[in-house]
A and B are shown apart, each in its own frame.
Chain A
Amino acid sequence: MARSVRIKDHHAESQLFEQRAVVAAVLMVIAMGLVISRLVWLQVVKYDYFADLSQGNRIRIEPIPPNRGLILDRNGLPLATNAPSYQLELTKEQVADVDATLAGIAEIGLIDKENIPTIKRDLRGRRSFDAVPIKLQLTEVELARFAARRHQFPGVEIRPRLTRYYPLAESSVHAIGYVGAISEDDKKRLNLDDYAGTTLTGKNGVEYAYEDQLHGRAGFQQLLVNAQGRSVERIGNEAAKLERKEPVAGNDLFLTIDMRVQQAAEEALRGQRASAVAIDPANGDILAFVSTPAFDPNLFARGLTRPEYLALTEDPDRPMYDRVIRGVYPPGSTVKPMMAMAALEYGMVTPADSVFCRGAYRMPGVSRPWRDWKPGGHGHVDMRKAIATSCDVYFYDIANQMGVDRIHDYLAQFGMGTITGIDIPGEKIGLLPSTAWKKKAFRRKEAQMWFPGDTISIGIGQGYMNATPLQLAHATATIAGRGQRFKPRLVRAVRNVTTGQVTELKPSPLPSPHVNDPGAWDVAIGGMYDVANAPYGTARGATANALYKIAGKSGTAQVFTVAANEKMRKPGELAEHLRDHALFIAFAPADAPRIAVAVVVENAPAGGSGFAAPIARRILDTYLLTPEQLAEQDAKRKPTPPPPPAPRPGETE
C-alpha cells in the first residue's frame, strides 16, 4: 500500500480505490450471504415452526351456541321454546360517543336511564369490535321506533337471535323455572367450554335441574381474522378452508305436567296465595304443579330492569316463592288418615274401637281442655267416622297414646319431615317433630323437654308439625296407592333432537310404609271416602254429584291461636293475614286412584272443605272427565255458580 505521500499520485490512488472497491464488494457478498443464510434458517430450517405460528395468527375459533332443548307438557304442548327475537347490539369501535348514543336510545324509550351504568359496565368488559347486546327482545313497536331513527345511531344494530320463550308465560313457571344471565356462581358449576357463546342458563325448576340435558354442546367455527381480531372473508384472493363443528342441540324434555289440569288448577287458584299439586299415584308423575301468584319467566330471559326486579322481590305476595316445595304449613286434619294408620300399626286401637266425643279432650292431670272443632262434639265415633267427621278428640286420644316418637317414625314412612326427592331443587323438608328433634332445636334446657301436651296437637297436624304441599300430595298418593310410593317427578321423557329418539324415564319407587295388617289401608281410604261421600262427611258439599268417587280429607291450619277461653270466630272476622290456611287432600277414583292432589290456600276466606275442596274437585274433574263431560257439568252448575260455600258455623275441622 502506498505510504502517505505529499504529492498526488493518480495511478496509485486509482489502484488504491480499486483495491478498496474489491474489498467492499467482498464485504457486500459476505453481508448478503449472511442475510441469505438467515433466510434459509427462517424459511427452510424453521419453516414448520413459523408456518404454525402464522396459522395461529389468523384463525380465531368462534363458538356456536347450541339450541336449548324444548320443554313440553306430557302431551307435547310446548312450554319453553326458542323464539327468534331481535336485540339491540352496540359495537364500541363504531360508536363515536357511547354516552350520547346510550342517552339517545334511552330518550326514545328503548332502554331505561337507570340501566345505563350497568350497560356501560358490561361494555367496558368487552372488546371494541364485539357487538354487545344492550337490549334483548325488542317488541315490534320498539323495533319500528328504532328503525325510524337508526341513522342517528351508527354502531347500534338490530340483530336476530334465538332466545328462550315461554308461550304460556306465567303458567307452571315454578315447575319449569326460567333462564337468566349466567352468574359468577353459575360459572363455577357449569362446564364453561360448552357455554362459550351462550348468555343464558337455567335458574330454577326444570330449566335448572335438567340443564345438562337441555343445554347441548357448543360447536365452533374457525374465522379468518386480521391483526385487530376482526373477521374477514378471505386472505387476498383465496377463500380459506375453515373448520366448522356443528353444535349439538340440547334434548327436549317431556314434563309429567298435563297442561289441561295445570291450567284448570291455576284458574281455580287465581287471586289467592296458594298452591296445588297433583300426582299420579302409579308412578309419581306430577300432573299439576301450581304456586300462585306467579310471574312471567320471559322477563328473565329478556333481562329484568331494576324496577321490575324490585317489583317482583318486594311484592308482599311473593310471586317468586315456590309454595309447592318451599311453603311449609301445619298440615292440620289432613294428617288424620296417616295418624289413624299409625295407631293401628302400633296396636293402640282397632278400627272398630269407638270414642265418645263431647267436644273437648282432657288429659289426665291437665286442667286445660283441647277443644274439638265442633263445640258439641261428634258423639260416638269409630276410626272411619273419626276421619270422616274429622273428630279432633279421637285423634288427640290416639296421639296421646302413641307418643310423639312413634308418630314421627310412622309418618316418616310417608315422606313427612324429609324431602320427597322431586327432580327440581329447593325442596323444604317441613317439620316432623320428635323428642330428639326438640332436644336439638332448642337451646334452653327447659324448652328441650317434650311435654305430653305437645303430642296432642300433633294428633291433628298442628303444634310443631308442618309440611310442604308436595309432601302432602306425596303422602296422599301413597295412601291412594296403598303404600306404593314414588319419588315425585316433573320430567317423564327425554327426546334426543338429533335422532328423534324418545327415552322414557323410569319412575323411582320408594319403600312402602310398613303395615302389619293391609286392612289399615282400607280404614284410612274408607275414612277419606266417607269424607266425600258419607252424609256426615266434611267435604260432601264440594264433592257432590261427581261422576266418579272421590276420597279426600280437609284440613284447616291455624295461623292465629285462639285462646281457650275465647269464643271461636268465623274466619271472616279476622284480619286477612291471620286467617287460617285452607287445605284439602284427595284422590280419585276412590277404588282405582289415578290422581292424588293436595291444595293449600293461605289465609283463605273459608276452611279446607269449604274453600280448598272445590278447587281440588276442579282439578280432579279436569283430569278424570272428558272435556265434553266437563262442559256438560259446568253447564248444569252455571245457574248457580258456586259461591265460596258459606262456612258452617265454627268449623275448623
Chain B
Amino acid sequence: MSLDAIDSSRTQRTLTGTAQLLLALHLDGPLFIALCMVGAVGSIVLFSASGSSLDMLEAQLMRFALGLIAMIMLAQVPPRIIRNAAPVAYVIGLIMLLLVMFTGDIAMGAQRWLDLGFVRFQPSELMKLAVPLACAWFLHERPLPPSLTSLLVVGLGIGIPTLLIAEQPDLGTALLVAAGGGMVVLLAGLQIRYILSVVGLLVPVAVVAWHFLLHDYQKQRVLTFLDPQSDPLGSGYHIIQSQIAIGSGGVFGKGYLNGSQAQLEFLPERSTDFIFAVVGEEWGLIGLVTVILLFMFVIGRALYLSATAHDTFSRLASGSLALTFCVYVFVNTGMVTGLLPVVGVPLPFVSYGGTAMVTLMAGFGILMSLCAKRKLVSR
C-alpha cells in the first residue's frame, strides 16, 4: 500500500536522521537511549515514591534535562582537552575539599557543601569524575601495568581525597571516589599479587579504621547490617522496612502507587537511597529485574565503548566511569536488599537528588566524547 510505504519511508528517514544527529553530536545511540529509558523509569518510580509529589517529579525532570545538556555538551569536548583538564580539575577539587573542611556549610549534620556565592556546590561530586580522570592521565603515558612507584603515587592521589570526603563524613561518596580511582588502576593491569596484598592489607586497615576513623553512626550501620533485628526501631529500621517492602512485593508487585510500605511512610528515605525498595514493592521481582537489566545494559555498553577507545587515557578513564556506575548500582541495590551495610549511595537516575544525577550524566558525556568514532583520531 502506498500510504504504508510513505509512512515506513518517513519513519526510516526519521530514524536515519536521528542516527546521523547522534553521530554528529558524538553520542552513542544505544547508550543514549538506554540512559533516557532509565531516566524515564526513574521519574515514574519517583512520582510514587515521593507520595505523588508533582513538585519533586518536576525538579527531578529538570535535573535530568540539565544532566542531558551537560552530557551532550561534554560529549563535544575533544578528548585531548579532557585529558589535559583532568589534573587541573583534580587540583581544584582537592583545594575545594580542603576549603570545605574549614569553611563548608553543614547540612544534615555533615560538612559537604561549599558556598560559592551563587551556587552551593559539593566538591566531592567533582572528585567522582576528577579522581578517575586524573589517575588515567597519570598512568596513560607510563608503561602498563604500572610500576610500584606509579602505584604509590596513584594510591596517594586516590587516598587523600577519599579520606577528606570520608571525614565530612560521607562514606558513600568516599567509596565511589575510591572506586573510581581503583577501577583505573585495576583496568591498567594491576598485577594479581598487588591485588592480593591490598586485600591482605585491608584487614589491618579495617581494624584501625574501626577503632580510630569511623564515626559512631558508621559503626552502627555496620553493626546493624550484621544484625538488623538488634535495633528494629533505630538503625535497623531502614533495613527491616526495606526488606519488608521488597519481600511483600512478591513476583508481580502490589501495583503502581499501591505499595503500603512506601505510601504509608514505613519505608524511610523512600524517595532517595531506598527507592529501589519502592520499585520492588510496587512492581515486584519483574520490575526489579527489568531495572537491573537496564542498568546492566548501560554498564555493558559503556564498558564495550571504552574497550573500543583509541588511546590508553580514554580506555582507562571511560572504563573506570563505566565500572564506577556499576559500583553505584551494586552498592545501592545490595544495601537496600540487605546484602551490604547501609552506606549513603543513591540509585543512579532513580533516587531523588540533584548533584549526583548531573555528575553521572557528565560522566557519561565524557565517556561518549572519549569513545566517539571520530573521523580524525586525536592522540
Contact = CB atoms under 8 A, between A and B. Distances in A.
A31 B330 contact: yes
Given A5-B143, A8-B143, A225 B250 contact: no
B16 interface: no
B79 interface: no
Interface residues of B, number: 61
Interface stretch (A13-21, A200-208, A554-562): A13-21
A242 interface: no
A54 B251 CA distance: 15
A203 B256 CA distance: 54
Contact of B143 (A7, A42, A232, A238): A7
Chain B at the A interface: SS class: helix
Contact of A17 (B143, B258, B307): B307
A54 B250 CA distance: 12
Nearest to A14: B315
Contacts of A6: 143
Given A21-B303, A25-B300, A58-B266, A42 B145 contact: no
B112 to A, nearest CB: 27
Interface residues of A, number: 50
A7 B142 CA distance: 8
Interface in A8-42: 8-10, 13-14, 16-18, 20-21, 24-25, 28-29, 31-32, 34-36, 38-40, 42
B248 A227 contact: no
Given A17-B319, A35-B292, 7 more contacts: A17-B306, A25-B303, A53-B247, A226-B264, A226-B266, A227-B265, A235-B258
B265 A51 contact: no
Interface string B131-152: 0000000000111110100000
A35 B288 CA distance: 10
B144 A13 contact: yes
Contacts of A35: 292, 330, 333-334, 337, 339
B137 to A, nearest CB: 15
B246 interface: yes
Chain A at the B interface: SS class: helix
Contact of B261 (A18, A24, A57): A57
A10 B187 contact: no
Interface string B227-265: 000000000000001011111111100011111110111
Contacts of A356: none
B187 A57 contact: no
Nearest to A43: B285
A50 interface: yes
A581 to B, nearest CB: 66
Nearest to B145: A4
B280 interface: yes
Interface in B57-82: none
Interface of B: 48, 52, 141-145, 147, 183, 186-189, 191, 241, 243-251, 255-261, 263-266, 280, 284-285, 288-289, 292, 295-296, 299-300, 303, 306-307, 312, 315-316, 319, 323, 326, 329-330, 333-334, 337-339
Contact of B186 (A24, A46, A57, A224): A24
Contacts of B188: 16-17
B307 A235 contact: no
A501 interface: no
B263 A236 contact: yes
Contact of B247 (A1, A34, A50): A50
Contact of A53 (B48, B191, B248, B285): B248
B189 A16 contact: yes
A-B pairs with lowest CB-CB distance, top 10: A50-B247, A236-B257, A54-B248, A226-B264, A42-B247, A16-B189, A227-B266, A50-B248, A227-B265, A43-B285
Contact of B292 (A32, A46, A226): A32
